[in-house]
Amino acid sequence: MQLTRRTILRTALAAGVSGLLPARSFAASQLALGTATLDTLSDGHLVLPIGFISDNPGAPELLARHGLSGPEIESPCNVTLYRDGINTVLFDVGSGPDFMPTAGKLAEAFDALGVTADEVTHVVFTHAHPDHLWGVLDDFDEPIFANATHLMGRAEYDYWADPNTVSTISGGRETFAAGAIRRLQALEDRIVTFEDGDEIIPGIGARASYGHTPGHMSFEVRQGNTSAMIVGDAIANAHMAFEAPSWASGSDQDAEMGAKTRLDLLGMLADGTMPMVGFHLPEGGVGRVERAGDAFRFIPEA
């Protein structure tokens, strides 16, 4: 299924009118990492056509086991804030007001946590899809996080900053490309790029997790002998991505690479017992991965 802004807006508005969208708490979850804290904040949620999850013939049965059989599916959006007493690091910035009416709630989440945009020292992007990038500018196209260094993986930046991407991108994502280049141009003088394996901030290392987008990055955040992996959309839901990680996902621009990335990440997280944070995972997105036979399961952090 192609994901177009028109399709998801129509789906979201219909669900909103029918009262299917419950109110959500802005403060989602917290994880202690040594003397640092890692909070997830709700930017609201997306409403997507259920067929977008996968076109695999087994998908309807798998989703039905999770109570998902209607035409739409809600996908929570968990923005991550890391604070170590020196750095205040925001991983992704949410949708802002221009993508979907059910998302773009990060300002309210900041208020609930008692944090201001001016306190953010670094903004780190996993990738440049609308629900991760479009909330970076205010109504005057000025950066909201005015005191922050903005960081994005080199491959991801080069792809979305290329004017040709809007005419070559597939899957109905032309609006994604147009929105990304406008925002990256506005950030041009303050954005810093990095490579796979770089320590981008003391204690925060970049890990390539390509497939969802051409340069998608995950991040290992380490404090003392504790760590967590921020996976962005490399693991994009708590059902199919865990139970059938090798199936193609409609959200991945490169489905084959996305599946390989999921399998590698899930295996590493399960075997190393490292907690993870997923942007679209339930209950704040913080939890652990366990093996379940030939598959996996997500265990939310208590």
pLDDT over 90 percentage in the chain: 83
**Residue 10 included in any domain:** no
Give me the number of domains the chain comprises. 1
> Please, which pLDDT band fits residue 50 given cuts at 50, 70 and 90?
confident
pTM: 0.91
**Residue 67 included in any domain:** no
With 90 as the cut, is the pLDDT of residue 29 above it? Answer: no
Contact by Cβ (8 Å): 206, 217:
yes
Domain around 34: 24-44+76-300
**Residue 13 included in any domain:** no
Query: Which domain CATH number covers 265?
Result: 3.60.15.10
3, 29, 51, 157, 211 from 6: Cα distances, Å: 8, 32, 16, 25, 24
**Residue 130 included in any domain:** yes
**Residue 3 included in any domain:** no
**Residue 191 included in any domain:** yes
pLDDT at 69: 85
26, 130, 295 from 127: Cα distances, Å: 22, 9, 26
How far is residue 228's CA from residue 34's CA, in Å, rounded to a whole number? Answer: 11
45, 49, 53, 128, 152 from 281: Cα distances, Å: 11, 17, 14, 18, 22
For the stretch 11-26, pLDDT in tens is: 333 333 333 333 345 6
How far is residue 302's CA from residue 299's CA, in Å, rounded to a whole number? Answer: 9
What is the CB-side half-sphere exposure of residue 217 using CA atoms within 13 A?
Answer: 29
Q: What is the DSSP string of 120-148?
A: --EEEES--SHHHHGGGB-TTS-BSSTT-
> Please, which pLDDT band fits residue 27 given cuts at 50, 70 and 90?
low
Q: Is 292 exposed, middle or buried (0-12, 13-18, 19+ CB in 10 A)?
A: exposed
**Residue 19 included in any domain:** no
**Residue 9 included in any domain:** no
Which residues are bridge partners to 299 per DSSP? 288
Q: Directed axis angle between helix 174-186 and helix 154-161, to 10°?
A: 110
* DSSP-based three-state secondary structure for 43: strand
What is the CB-side half-sphere exposure of residue 129 using CA atoms within 13 A?
Answer: 25
For the stretch 151-206, pLDDT in tens is: 999 999 999 999 999 999 988 899 999 999 999 999 999 999 999 999 999 999 99
Q: Which amino acid is at 94?
A: G
In degrees to the nearest 10, what's the CA dihedral of 176, 177, 180, 184?
180
